[in-house]
Amino acid sequence: MVRPKLLAIALLAAAAIPAVGAAAADAPACHLGRYASLPMTIDEAGLVTVPIKIGGEEENLLVDTGGVFSMLTSATAARLNLKPVSLDFGAAMYGWGGRRMNHYVEAEQIEIAGATIKRRQFMVMPDDFLPLDDDGILAPDILSVFEVDFDFAKSQMGLFSKDHCEGKVVYWTHDDYAAIPFDLDSNRHMKITITLDGKEVHAILDTGASDSVMSLETARSMFGFKPSAIAETGRYPFKSLTIQGVTVNNPVIDLVPDDKSKMLGNYGEPDMILGMGILRQLHLFISFKEHTVYVTPASAH
Amino acid sequence: MRARLLAAALTLAAGCAFASGYDDFSAGVTANARGEADRAIASFTSALASGDLASGYLPSARLGRARAYLAKGDCTRALADLDEAVKLRPNSVSGRVMRAAAYSCLKNADAATADFNAALNLRPTARVYENYGRFQWNQGLFAEAAANYAQTSQMSAGSDPHLPYKVLWYAMSAERAGTLDQAKLNDLVSNIDQSGWPRPILDYYRNRLTESRVYEKAADSDATIANQQKCEADFYVGEWHLARKEPDAGMKLIHAAFGECPHNFMEYYAADRELKRQP
């Protein structure tokens, strides 16, 4: 997850919408048009990557719904001969831990879901921000052009057309599902309200976080435990986390001081990041059109 | 299709009996994150044996089980999984770097070196140089380690909060090799935009601070932080004495670092390695 600060709005304008595939264009009114299925990998740390072609080269981009702008590592930018350009007016973005990023590159062409997007800009991020095999991140600036389907069990990320009938997206099962509404903030982060041990907590869905983390200060304020309760592990033994009826028992949540995360707990920021440790147990269909995420257990088929 | 939800049907119970290879795979990832190596090995083994784990996850399942084996010190089994992971995904840098660790554990330095070089050919990133430098330092290849720490320091300039430690490891390795270039060290230090810890140790290696002042700076914090800073000072100052052929003074401090550093500190592992290196 990365937060913007003083970022020129014009820098990375809305993603160009790719040409609609023939299947979607000719589809009947309630057809769910799939642009593409991208082979998805979960690395041993639990993070998701998909292959995207940039300048004709295939790069592994980490899928980060908690990001803001798509990025390339400085090593990837150098390998692709993309020249970093400073943001204007001293603008910068700050990542987890307050890491500063203030350069971007422009790729002549990227290919995603079979569509070509010309002149795409990416922020440049430090190499060590990502696992060793990753070349950058794919963030909501591009993802939100589509409806995005995470079929973790089958290792496929589906990109669908937004031209579908409301609520008619759960194609993978006839079993029960949850429809969880979310607010999309100005950074295109999906903000939801969850219930943690009976108390309401504001969270964002973040596939770019390997684990779920919560503001230590907020957690202590809400649940009133002593520092000794989490001294060894940095975790508190929460009993249940519920999202609109979807319950995760004994959720693993790291508690991080606000001065370390520099992005939790303050006004306007989430109390918690719901990361892959929990999300990968689910099948998620994110409808950016409806501001709703449709959920079943990952194994439901 | 029924709309909306039923809580009971969607309850995801951690630790329950899993039904599919993917669920076992996911449980293995969770177990590794929790440091539960035995559970991780069992889960990844079930996932690999299930026959229904998506092929895209097979390399990660091997890597995950290898990580758990390495955590238990079972380097032979780790190597077997890593061989398979690298075969399945030849361009995996993490597979190469982890296999180098397994080779190192099995005292096969040549094979570890080959994997680090292969990793650098695939992606010459700051983290690979850093890992390579640590391996070479462990091997007593101080000049080579210094070169890789200088490289990772240059590549990390301006962005990495761990940059001071990378520069410190350059200084320590180069001092030990007898090749410390003060102009180069000053140049690397100029990229560090923080004046707090461990800057006093860097200034000690730059001959700008005395040993006693380093310890005064280390103690200038709350008790927990001060103890951690003292352990670091003991290790790096001890290494400086070893480089100056002062083994008694050096090893006394290395012993102290080993005894007082938290076990998740790199200085703890490095002190352990130094103690084992000494005759």
pLDDT 10s digits, B209-233: 999 999 999 999 889 899 999 999 9
CB A290 within 8 A of CB A165: no
**Is the per-residue pLDDT at B28 higher than 70?**
yes
CB contacts of A40 in chain B (<8 Å) are 56
Section B233-247 average pLDDT: 97
Question: Which whole number is the average pLDDT over A244-269?
Answer: 75
CB contact under 8 A, A155 and B161: no
Chain B residues in contact with A170 by the CB 8 A cut-off are 1
Quote the tokens at residue B251: 């090893």
- The confidence band for A97, taking pLDDT boundaries of 50, 70 and 90, is low
Amino acid letter, B198:
P
| Strand ranges inside B70-222, DSSP E | none
Q: Under an 8 A CB cutoff, do B57 and A250 touch?
A: no
pLDDT band at A15 (very low <50, low <70, confident <90, very high): very low
Q: Looking at residue B14, what is its pLDDT?
A: 39
Angle CA(B251)–CA(B256)–CA(B257) in degrees, nearest 5?
95
Q: Across the interface, do A298 and B1 touch by the CB < 8 Å criterion? A: no
* Averaged pLDDT score across all residues of chain B: 91
Distance CA B56, CA A183 (A): 33
The reported pLDDT for the residue numbered A256 is 84
Question: Which residues, other chains included, contact A78 with Cβ-Cβ below 8 Å and sequence gap of 6+?
Answer: none
Q: What are phi and psi of B199, to 5 degrees?
A: -55, -40
Among partner residues A46, A74, A245, which is closest to B10 by beta-carbon distance? A245
Q: pLDDT exceeding 90 applies to what percent of chain B? A: 80
- Of all residues in chain A, what percent carry a pLDDT higher than 90? 39
CA distance A41 to A52: 13
Coil, helix or strand at residue A104: strand
- φ/ψ of B263, rounded to 5, equals -70, -10
Q: Chain B residues with CB inside 8 Å of A99's CB?
A: 159, 161
pLDDT of residue A45: 81
ipTM, two decimals, is: 0.80
User: Which pLDDT band, with edges at 50, 70 and 90, does A28 fall under?
Assistant: low
Could B26 and A280 be called an inter-chain contact, meaning their C-beta atoms sit closer than 8 Å?
yes
Do B129 and B151 contact (CB within 8 A), yes or no?
yes
Average pLDDT over residues A103-108: 90
Amino acid occupying residue B175: E
Q: What is the pLDDT of residue B168?
A: 97
Residue B128 near chain A (CB below 8 Å): yes
Helix (H) or strand (E) holding A61: strand A57-63
Distance CA A256, CA A259 (A): 8
What is the pLDDT averaged over residues A213-226? 85
Contacts with A298 from chain B: Cβ below 8 Å: 22-23, 26
Q: Are the C-beta atoms of A12 and A140 separated by less than 8 Å? A: no
CB contact under 8 A, B125 and A127: yes
Write the DSSP symbol of residue A268: T
pLDDT at B6: 39
B90 Cβ contact partners less than 8 Å away, ≥ 6 residues apart? none
Compute the CA torsion angle A260, A125, A189, A195 (nearest 10 deg): -30
Contacts of B55 (CB under 8 A, 6+ apart): A155
Is residue A183 within 8 Å of A136, Cβ to Cβ? no
Nearest CA in chain B to A58: B91
| Reported confidence tier of residue A216, pLDDT bands at 50, 70, 90 | confident
- CA end-to-end distance (rounded Å), chain A: 30
Residue B117 confidence class, pLDDT cut points 50, 70, 90: very high
B23–A299 C-beta distance less than 8 A: yes
Interface of B with A in 27-86 (CB under 8 A): 29-30, 32-34, 54-57, 59-61, 63-64, 67
pTM check: above 0.80: yes
Least confident of A101-110, A180-189, A260-269: A260-269
Please determine, for residue A22, whether its predicted confidence score (pLDDT) is greater than 60: no
Mean pLDDT, residues A48-54: 93
Q: What is the DSSP string of A234-253?
A: SB----EEEETTEEEES--E
**Residue A290 distance to chain B (closest CA, Å):** 15
pLDDT-derived band at B141 (thresholds 50, 70, 90) equals: very high
Phi, psi of A72 (to 5 degrees): -125, 145
Q: How confident is the model at residue A139 (pLDDT cuts 50, 70, 90)?
A: very high
